[in-house]
Structure 1
């Protein structure tokens, strides 16, 4: 017995002398406000996702709906459609090309929150739809194409209409208690696998109106699926929304809204960092961007019409344009506008990726 006690003490001394594992200092993004990227007369513009086409032009895929339609900004889940715009530069101006994905109503209602990527030589457009204006039915659609002429087809591993992901139904599914279906996809290729990150609002406390806003990942061996649920990747707390995933220098990053105001106001956002893309520790989360008034001044926004949020101009739906494999421009939406007859609009920032000094 005495020998065992001495052995335990020796091990404790050795462990205490060892350096504790250090958490890598997170990288960061720096921003320069360039101006309004896109607005349209008589419409709300939301969720502007950019990509550079083979023509060298910047293509934007945008959620939009009528300014004179639904009240209380609810048109986003009742009559949204995905528009396609093209410009010669990241700052625009952008010209309307056409409707990339129409609102069909019924079972394929209000396509919204588009995000576009080019992976393995194919363009992939992911977005959400619902059924009959009911948020509890939200699901994720995946379309693919060989060009940007809007010849989209459902992913090979999807359901016939392009549905690639629904909320989990298996007893062990991480989001089986999701209140609002599954939504807000962001796609990334990691170590030869395809990670489809997705949001769920989990019922953690039945006494509270809302639950935990969290992200999980579904993984496939092929780009077009099928995608299988694996795990939840962010902690259980009300605070992550509108994720855009990207990879830089052997780390996976999330750029998101600070939905729970955990590191500042909910008008700004967070940068999450992960070694493997399968878990994003809170210790590696930093404040990343602020509300629009931080960049343009409160006086500039004083006469804006508020359609969503407030006059600080909270920034939502971050989407990144890459140049030469590096984050170069950031597009985000605000629910305010000073232009008469124009609804919510998109703004563009020049960004610089600052790699953490690990020395």
Structure 2
């Protein structure tokens, strides 16, 4: 189905719509997943063969790690299911357990159905060392969690490590490669990935940018494209890529507040998918307080970020090929005994 260009914005923020009319509206629904005694971070949705909505969720115990560091120390990927995109969602099983050692802390899952297969990508590290982060790809014909490593991956499913090719933009990546998002576009398979790279050798900090690895086959192998796909000065985090109207789009966190606060997000657009320029990048969403009100969060607890609730880890549910629901994670929760959680927004076409 052909779709019009969707510019993501909200009626609650009329200033976001002044430059051009909005094609989509967000309607805040509520919490998607929260679990007592655990942090939940990111919920990636897909429609299952049963017609239900399946969420693959990063989570870890609040008890063993008193700060938020459990995401790279003891995370697991859990499978939840609901009859409707709005939920409620119930825990089914742990889909990818924490194995420690060289397959440590599976985190930031993203799932899609491509070419009739379910594809689950996520990150792992070695012994809780962030500089060893890499991307894993699993595939399956169903959602019974009988996942297998992609055919072009290493034996454990590792599909992408940081580049070793001189001249590639992320050959000197400080924290490996992370936060994948996969699309099929123009007959190619594009695996977007984040790297943290210093803009010059003596810089104190690296910049958060995105690259892409390319394959002729869904299950790889994938080869790094030599150049970054986002402007060096516009840092981003947690990009989710999708195709629409013969373009590639990404929803991401606005990591340094390039077009607003860093609690909200950006919508990126590219014809070929190999570079997303600043001119075609627009503000997408704001922090959680914008939708629920600051008063509603005032008695909550901020486990990560500020009490206004930074919204991160954008993941989109498409229904009949159309983006229909957006799932976002936040470090703020108002339910006692529950850690960070994910929220769901309904995306609908604006009535002209």
Partner of 2:124 in structure 1?
A: 129
- Residue 238 of structure 1 deviates from its aligned partner by 5.2
Aligned mates of 1:275, 1:192 — CA distance in 2: 14
Partner of 2:78 in structure 1?
A: 83
**1:17-76 CA distance string (max 9 Å, x none):** xxxxxxxx7976421100011100110001100011110100000000001121320000
- Residue 343 of structure 1 deviates from its aligned partner by 0.3
CA contact (8 A) 2:252 2:267 kept: yes
Change (3 A) 1:300 1:141: same
Query: In the alignment, does 2:143 pair up with 1:148?
Result: yes
Query: In the alignment, does 2:61 pair up with 1:66?
Result: yes
- Residue 133 of structure 1 deviates from its aligned partner by 0.3
Partner of 2:195 in structure 1?
A: 200
Query: In the alignment, does 2:169 pair up with 1:174?
Result: yes
Aligned mates of 1:191, 1:353 — CA distance in 2: 26
Query: In the alignment, does 2:310 pair up with 1:310?
Result: no
Alignment of 1:285-300 (within 5 A): 285-300=281-296
Partner of 2:207 in structure 1?
A: 212
CA contact (8 A) 1:26 1:273 kept: no
Query: In the alignment, does 2:315 pair up with 1:319?
Result: yes
Partner of 1:277 in structure 2?
A: 273
**1:131-161 CA distance string (max 9 Å, x none):** 0000000000000000000010000000000
Aligned mates of 1:40, 1:131 — CA distance in 2: 27
CA contact (8 A) 1:26 1:284 kept: no
Partner of 2:332 in structure 1?
A: 336
CA contact (8 A) 2:196 2:209 kept: yes
1:107 partner SS: helix
Query: In the alignment, does 2:224 pair up with 1:223?
Result: no
Query: In the alignment, does 2:89 pair up with 1:94?
Result: yes
**Equivalent residue in structure 2 for 1:35, among 18, 22, 30:** 30
- Between Structure 1 and Structure 2, whose CA radius of gyration is higher? 1
**1:174-232 CA distance string (max 9 Å, x none):** 20111100000000000111000000011213444321211111100000000011132
Aligned mates of 1:29, 1:176 — CA distance in 2: 38
Change (3 A) 1:311 1:220: same
Aligned mates of 1:112, 1:221 — CA distance in 2: 26
Partner of 1:241 in structure 2?
A: 237
Aligned mates of 1:206, 1:232 — CA distance in 2: 17
- Residue 306 of structure 1 deviates from its aligned partner by 1.0
- Residue 251 of structure 1 deviates from its aligned partner by 1.4
**Equivalent residue in structure 1 for 2:50, among 55, 77, 92:** 55
Task: Give the length in aligned residue pairs.
Answer: 333
Instruction: For structure 1, list consecutive stretches of 5 or more residues without a partner in the other structure.
Output: 1-24
- Residue 354 of structure 1 deviates from its aligned partner by 6.8
1:232 partner SS: coil
- Could you tell me the TM-score, scaled by structure 2's length? 0.92
Aligned mates of 2:101, 2:139 — CA distance in 1: 23
CA contact (8 A) 1:143 1:162 kept: yes
Aligned mates of 1:238, 1:74 — CA distance in 2: 26
Partner of 2:7 in structure 1?
A: none
- Residue 259 of structure 1 deviates from its aligned partner by 0.3
Alignment of 1:20-31 (within 5 A): 29-31=24-26
Partner of 2:15 in structure 1?
A: none
Aligned mates of 1:268, 1:189 — CA distance in 2: 27
- Residue 341 of structure 1 deviates from its aligned partner by 0.8
Query: In the alignment, does 2:172 pair up with 1:190?
Result: no
Aligned-CA RMSD value: 1.7
Instruction: For structure 2, list consecutive stretches of 5 or more residues without a partner in the other structure.
Output: 1-19
CA contact (8 A) 1:218 1:229 kept: yes
